């Protein structure tokens, strides 16, 4: 089986790649398991040494639009595409053209490349909870369902929703087997901050644990819908494995979410690293970030994902413990809990 991951050397892309390689084989769209012969990671950045050393891994470096012009990106035997590459929310709000180019044009170009194969590969599109947004004129319901009408309130959410519709239409026409998956905010992400409006939801844990100051731009009682990296990758894999009957409607599936408050996240930090960690948090409001984040839903019901066997994380403390266990070199403060 030949698999393509766009954004394959990003945080989620690398976790997904390692999970696929560890499995060794995959049951695609309900079919019998097939061995993974080739895993293409398309990204501007290079993969780490462990993936470079795996003979099944091929890295294609460069801009996705440039790679689409290459016959190497979507080859005749490509059976599965995970489309993770995207410009993030803060970037899209600051630069409309960047978002349109990276999120809209690239998604359509990738779908067209799959269309030309004539084999209807499985196409897993990483959409976002940002397709939902609340305004005073059109407030969101208390709980988001799989069938809730998306009402995005920023360019990133709008571009993701358009991407969902493109995947749905290509699926309706039998050109791909589309799987639109709405990801929740993923935390805790290791590494450096990015330009996503939600980036602080990782930074407010990651930076203090490394002994660095971090800003929290929203109020402590702000509710958010989160998912751990592990649960998120499980959702992407399950989307690829599900048969058409299991998947059901062509519309997007909301991945399970843990609802928590930003204050509870700070408390989890205190639980694991004490007051020395929370003393490094600067609660300085940023109205731009707050306007984006507080418009997103915080309570999401994931009936379709639950039917596929996917569950939300049990607690944010569990999520934070996972980060600490996986990234011991990034933790510089003494821990109260391990």
Q: Which two tokens stand for residue 28?
A: 């695609």
Give CA–CA dist 320/259, Å, rounded: 14
Give CA–CA dist 119/170, Å, rounded: 12
* In the block, residue with structure tokens 């510089």: 332
Q: What is the DSSP letter of 120?
A: -
Question: b/e string for 241-256 if b means 16 or more Cβ within 10 A?
Answer: bbeeeebeebbbbbbb
Q: Which two tokens stand for residue 156?
A: 């990133």
HSE (side-chain half, CA atoms, 13 Å) at 90: 14
Active-site position among 156, 161, 200, 247: 156
Q: Which of 88, 118, 105, 122 is nearest to 166 (CA)?
A: 105
Chain-centre distance of CA 54, in angstroms?
A: 24
- 300's CB contacts (< 8 A; 6+ apart) are 129, 143, 144, 184, 225, 254, 256, 257, 259
Vertex 124 angle, CA 290 and 185, to 5°: 20
Q: What is the DSSP letter of 184?
A: P
- 77's CB contacts (< 8 A; 6+ apart) are 2, 38
Give CA–CA dist 13/11, Å, rounded: 6
Neighbours of 232 (CB within 10 A): 26
Q: What are phi and psi of 116, to 5 degrees?
A: -65, -20
Three-state DSSP class for residue 315: coil
Give the helix/strand (H/E) hosting 317.
helix 316-326
Any catalytic annotation for residue 156? yes
Q: List residues with catalytic annotation.
A: 156
């Amino acid at each position: 089986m030949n698999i393509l991951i766009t954004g394959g050397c990003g945080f989620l892309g690398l976790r997904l790649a390692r999970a696929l390689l560890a499995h060794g084989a995959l049951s695609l769209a309900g079919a019998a398991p097939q061995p993974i012969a080739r895993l293409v990671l398309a990204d501007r950045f290079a993969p780490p040494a462990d993936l470079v050393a795996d003979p099944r891994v091929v890295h294609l470096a460069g801009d996705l639009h440039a790679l689409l012009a290459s016959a190497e990106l979507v080859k005749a035997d490509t059976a599965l595409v995970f489309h993770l590459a995207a410009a993030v929310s803060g970037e899209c709000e600051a630069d409309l053209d960047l978002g349109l180019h990276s999120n809209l044009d690239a998604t359509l170009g990738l779908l067209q490349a799959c269309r030309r194969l004539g084999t209807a590969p499985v196409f897993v599109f990483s959409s976002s909870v940002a397709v939902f947004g609340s305004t005073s004129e059109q407030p969101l319901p208390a709980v988001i369902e799989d069938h809730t009408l998306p009402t995005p309130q920023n360019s990133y959410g709008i571009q993701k929703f358009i991407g969902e519709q493109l995947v749905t239409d290509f699926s309706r026409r039998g050109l791909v087997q589309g799987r639109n998956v709405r990801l929740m905010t993923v935390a805790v992400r290791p590494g450096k901050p990015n330009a996503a409006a939600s980036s602080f939801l990782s930074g407010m844990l990651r930076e203090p644990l490394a002994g660095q100051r971090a800003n929290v731009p929203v109020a402590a009682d702000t509710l958010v819908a989160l998912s751990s990296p592990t649960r998120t990758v499980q959702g992407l894999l399950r989307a690829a494995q599900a048969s058409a009957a299991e998947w059901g409607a062509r519309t997007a599936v909301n991945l399970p979410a843990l609802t928590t408050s930003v204050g509870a996240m700070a408390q989890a930090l205190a639980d694991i690293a004490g007051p020395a960690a929370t003393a490094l948090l600067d609660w300085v409001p940023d109205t731009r970030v707050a306007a984006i984040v507080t418009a997103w839903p915080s309570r999401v019901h994931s009936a379709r994902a639950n039917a596929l066997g996917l569950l939300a994380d049990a607690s944010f403390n569990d999520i934070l413990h996972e980060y600490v266990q996986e990234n011991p070199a990034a933790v510089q403060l003494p821990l109260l809990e391990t």
